[in-house]
Amino acid sequence: MYRLLIVDDEEFTANGIKASVNWSKFGIIHVSVANNARQAKEKFSEHPFDMMICDIEMPQGSGLELYEWVREEHPWTECVFLTCHADFQYAKKAIQLGSFEYLLKPAPPEELEQVMTEMIKKISKDRKSSSIVIERFWQDVLQQVIPSQPDKIMEAIGKHNIPYTSRMKFLPILIGIQHWKKELSARDAQIMEYALTNALEELVIHQVATAHIVRIKANQLLAVFSTEHAIEASGEKFREELIKRCGLFIETCNQYFYCHLSCYIGQPSEIHGVRDMVENLVALRKNQVNAVDRVVLIDEKMANETPFPMPPMRIWSELIKQGDKKKLMAESQDFLESLKRIEGLNSKSLQQFYLSFLQMVLHTLQQKGLYTDDILADHFAPERISSAAESVKNLQDWVTDVLEFAMTSIEALGSNETVVEKIKRYISANIDQEMSRQYIADYIGLSPDHIVKLFKKETGLSISEYILKERIGLAKELLAKSETSISNVALAVGFANFSYFSTLFKKEVLMTPQEYRKRFSSGM
């Protein structure tokens, strides 16, 4: 979507240009007219333009002088000059300023359309290239690869030809995803992130050419607005518009993308102060974990931190020992649901609960003779703790996972069959079926991470290695003792792709299935 400004001191000519072309077919959604340089600057102060068609000879300041100002204040704007005279000095100056084209009046509509087609191609290409460079620039600023010093930042801007000026201020909006309504695979998560980014571009960025989206980390995006033209000029009005756009973005994400998130709006900062402002927004998000599906302003008075009510861990420990899964699940989820009603709840409190709960589970399992420190060690990783403490919903999911593991471990302890034996039995029974660690985990009743580590510890093999070993072993037996075709042997051991089966068989046995059958038949 693009915006166009037509500047000509002859009102009839300007309106004639506006009426001569079907601008919408070029994706130009807004066309404005100005009759002199002063009016043009006023139009720019209301909203930036992607392109300008400008007369050169005007009584209150030439088009060349106007474009010099535009290049300084709005570097993204492309320009086509119109003039009645084929003056070489005009053309030379227009080229020096970087104008896109220089046309003689009256420009036929078909010629103007051709120029617009080429200009939009250039804008689209430049924007795509520029967006990558600018996103990397902001990531370097936020990670302090570029020091937060005005001279260092302006040096980087000049080096990468980024169209920012020292007078600009920047308003950051942090988008924090609390949780998804349904479990997503890695590929689905990528698709959803792409969809969220597009929605953010369409609903929040909303045609502001100097605004950009920056990926900070998983579940966090940043929208950065240049404030020189759009925000400072309209002040509170634009701020209110941003709040409205963010609200619509949140509603759209809830309805179509299965996720809950919040938008945290900062204040305009000089470029060297953006990193501090973003850190303040990140801290605000951490300190308000129950601010779900909300637009939060950095200067908004939030609820004070509320003392965190720790649950009855000793009682929960006894319920684990007794194997009372139903009561334990009900009590733990009721407690966590109650946390959603605490306004001043922060991530530090959730982290405190996380660690206390995990220590309780480990101690309880050890009392039952289960030493699971190695299996649960990954739960102490900072990124795991941080993820669970981002929202009460994340914490609920994690608690459910740990309790399922604890209760199943105790149940397995009382049976004659170990967890690893159960896994082996499942693999044997389903050797001709598609298998994954998730399928096995669902059958055993533990999380995928738990069974992988437990199986590796006791057998020295990964689950995938064991499955392959069993499949190749069965294939060798079938090839040696039956007359069934090799393709049927492949199907019998879980390979729908005959070529892939042959490749793996040769890698493991050092001969093809055909060679193995022939050699066995000959007594070798």
27-46 pLDDT, tens per residue?
887 899 999 999 999 888 77
Which pLDDT belongs to residue 302?
Answer: 54
Q: What is the pLDDT of residues 442-455, one digit of tens each?
A: 877 788 888 888 89
| Stronger pLDDT, 416 or 330, i.e. the higher one | 330
The 10s digit of each residue's pLDDT in 371-402 is 666 667 778 778 788 888 888 888 998 999 88
Give residues with Cβ within 8 angstroms of 273, minimum separation 6: 148
In this model, does residue 276 exceed pLDDT 90? Answer: yes
Report the amino acid identity of residue 480: A
Residue 61, CA distances (Å) to 38, 68, 73, 81 in order: 8, 11, 17, 14
3-state helix/strand/coil string of 350-400: HHHHHHHHHHHHHHHHHHCCCCCHHHHHHHHCHHHHHHHCCCHHHHHHHHH
Q: What is the pLDDT of residues 503-518, one digit of tens each?
A: 999 999 999 999 998 8
pLDDT in tens, 463-479: 999 999 999 999 999 99
Q: Is the pLDDT of residue 62 over 90?
A: no
Per the model's pLDDT, the better-predicted residue between 92 and 450 turns out to be 450
Question: What six digits make up the tokens of 499?
Answer: 């070529």
Question: Could you tell me what percentage of the chain is helix, strand and coil, using 3-state DSSP and rounding each to the nearest 5?
Answer: 60, 10, 30
pLDDT for the residue 85: 65
Burial 164-183 (b: 16+ CB within 10 A, else e): beeebbbbbbbbbbbbbeee
Report how far apart the first and last C-alpha atoms of the chain are (Å, whole number): 73
Question: Has residue 125 got a pLDDT over 70?
Answer: yes
pLDDT band at 481 (very low <50, low <70, confident <90, very high): confident
pLDDT score for 518: 87
- The mean-pLDDT minimum among 226-230, 243-247, 322-326 falls in 226-230
Transcribe 130-192 into DSSP letters. Answer: HHHHHHHHHHHHHTTSS-S-HHHHHHHHHHTT----TT-EEEEEEEEEEEESS---HHHHHHH
Tens of pLDDT along 201-239? 888 887 666 788 998 887 889 999 886 544 444 567 778
**What is the structure's pLDDT at 303?**
53
Q: How confident is the model at residue 524 (pLDDT cuts 50, 70, 90)?
A: very low
Beta strand 259-265 pairing with 169-180: antiparallel
- Tokens 């990964």, located at residue: 462
Helix (H, G, I), strand (E, B) or coil at 521: helix
**Torsions phi, psi for 354 (to 5 deg):** -50, -55
